Chains A and B, each alone.
Chain A
Amino acid sequence: MSNFFDLNVHAYPETNTPAEEMLRVARRYGYAGIAITNHDDSVEEQQETSPSIYMGIEIRTNSVSELNRKLKQHSGKVPLLVVHGGDEKINLAALKDHRVDILAHPCGEKGEGVLNHVLVRYAVENGIAIEFNMSALIYSRRGDRARILGRMRDNLHLVRKYKAMSILTSNARSIYDLRAPREMIALASLFGMRREEAVSALSDIPLSILEQRWNKEKEVEIL
């Protein structure tokens, strides 16, 4: 059995569900750990609670200069740096910056954003994972979902071509939004992701991102 991780979960204080409650349900579903990545504009300060809960922050902004300022502010202080993607300018600026760990939903929450060859190459160069947000599939129907599935299919194609890192996340805002690993794999198959790819996007790749940040932290300690 693999070690599964969900690296994009929103918990208290951004939502009403405490992080421990999220972890309890995620554990029951078969995850080894989760990362709480609340949006930076909705929370002030947060503390690490349990060793299986990794703390991150999801930077949400519309302007590139503000993104750079916020990256500077949070870099080195928060273990997992996630950028709220969707906007083309933000996608580009985030993928060009090696401090970023994950670009969340590059196709946007409504399928409005796009990735292209240039952006994915930057992602590979800077070791940034491209996130596939399953809640966008769960919460949309008809035209919206068709558009999002199409975008994800395109993104997957690019990710395969350039061997970029991709991860599957739930973007859960309550315990009812969490989905067990096998359900995530079934959802990923809707846009053509193969089983092995999906397993690795839930286990090996998130783990390598977490280890990366752990090494970074150690380096900081040595300095």
Chain B
Amino acid sequence: MRRRDRRRYLVFEVMSEIEVDKYKLLNAIWNSMYSLYGDIGTSESKLWLVKYDKKGIGMLRCAHSKVDEVRAALACIYSVNGALVGIRVIGISGTIKAASRIA
């Protein structure tokens, strides 16, 4: 039996007019996920914001089979708190250690 869930760590970059607040960004990500996949789909993605710094680089954790879904949800975010944003995934890794090297 597998001991734990397989995960993926997505390192992403937020391009924005102004500095984006971590909690407002998280809110936008959740809203985008709910809007695209509903409550069930969102729960299956097991999304978690691992870290986010003010320079606009962050790391998300999700189920390994839901990477493309999460990527689409990130791409659908066009504004956070009224400021225009564009989000791009820069790298994906299976471990937090390797993902940290990307960021």
Contact = CB atoms under 8 A, between A and B. Distances in A.
B31 to A, nearest CB: 9
Interface stretch (A59-67, A98-106, A138-146, A215-223): A138-146
Classify chain B: how many residues form its interface, as a range. 10 to 19
B89 A183 contact: yes
The majority secondary structure among interface residues of chain B is: mixed
A66 B78 CA distance: 34
B86 A177 contact: yes
A137 interface: yes
B88 A138 contact: no
Contacts of B65: none
Contact of A186 (B16, B68, B84): B68
A187 interface: yes
A175 B15 CA distance: 9
Contacts of A189: 68, 72
Contacts of B96: none
Contacts of B59: none
A142 B35 contact: yes
Nearest to A183: B75
Classify chain A: how many residues form its interface, as a range. 20 to 34
B76 interface: yes
Contacts of A142: 35
Contacts of B35: 141-142, 145
B89 to A, nearest CB: 7
B28 to A, nearest CB: 12
A183 B74 contact: yes
A190 interface: yes
Given A183-B89, A189-B68, A190-B36, A176 B17 contact: yes
Interface centre among A25, A175, A179, A189 (most CB of B within 10 A): A179
B46 to A, nearest CB: 18
Contacts of A122: none
21 contacts: A25-B15, A138-B78, A142-B35, A145-B35, A175-B86, A176-B17, A176-B78, A176-B86, A177-B86, A179-B75, A179-B88, A182-B71, A183-B71, A183-B72, A183-B87, A183-B88, A184-B75, A186-B69, A186-B75, A187-B75, A189-B68
Given A176-B15, A176-B85, A177-B78, 6 more contacts: A176-B78, A176-B84, A176-B86, A180-B88, A186-B72, A189-B68
Interface of B: 15-17, 35-36, 68-69, 71-72, 74-76, 78, 84-89
